[in-house]
Amino acid sequence: MASPIAATAPYWLPALSMLLVYRRIRRNFGVQPWRPVRSGIRLGILALVAALLCVAGAAMPHLALGLGVGAALGALLGLLALKHTHVAWRDGRRTYTPNPWIGGALTVLLLSRMAWRYTHEGFAAAQAPSALTMGMAAVLIGYSLVYTIGLMVQMRRLASERVAETVAAATLPDRTDPN
């Protein structure tokens, strides 16, 4: 007898996947508030997944090329996205505006692979991973790692600039005093 979780997986797994995709799409467009704790947790999870992908590449040599090319391409896309990301203070909070084209292209890549997998094999199909799938995963993980780390650096720089401006404003003499 199948467990209740396995029996209902064809219903809730696509819904959960779509929720995660919706959250990813929402993060690609418009001004986003900076959440340092959430970003730190995301970075930790991404580093763990990247380590697991490296282990997979070592354990299955036919995946190594796809993983390496995907990670390199993802890192380059992350650097390009950082160049086109705007960070600023709004209402006393640090915010950033990501490049919608790069994030949108990666989301389309993710959705395309999910649609292919679901229509051809189904989510529950057990099969050996392909180099293409692992390469796409490496692109997404490499991009996310580089982008998250770069965003953390930019936000730290933004905060230190704000502190420097505050200190400079406090040390300037008051020009309104007539004496």
pLDDT tops 60 at residue 146: yes
Provide mean pLDDT across the span 4-33.
72
Which tokens is 24 given?
């990813």
Provide mean pLDDT across the span 19-41.
80
Centroid of chain to Cα 33: 15
Which tokens is 34 given?
């900076």
User: What's the pLDDT at 22?
Assistant: 72
Rounded-to-integer distance, Cα 67 and Cα 110, Å: 16
Condensed to tens digits (0 to 9), the pLDDT of residues 44-90 reads 999 999 998 888 888 888 888 889 999 999 999 999 999 999 999 88
Which tokens is 120 given?
């051809």
Cβ(13)–Cβ(118) below 8 Å: no
Cβ(156)–Cβ(92) below 8 Å: no
Q: Global pTM? A: 0.78
Q: What is the mean pLDDT of the chain?
A: 82
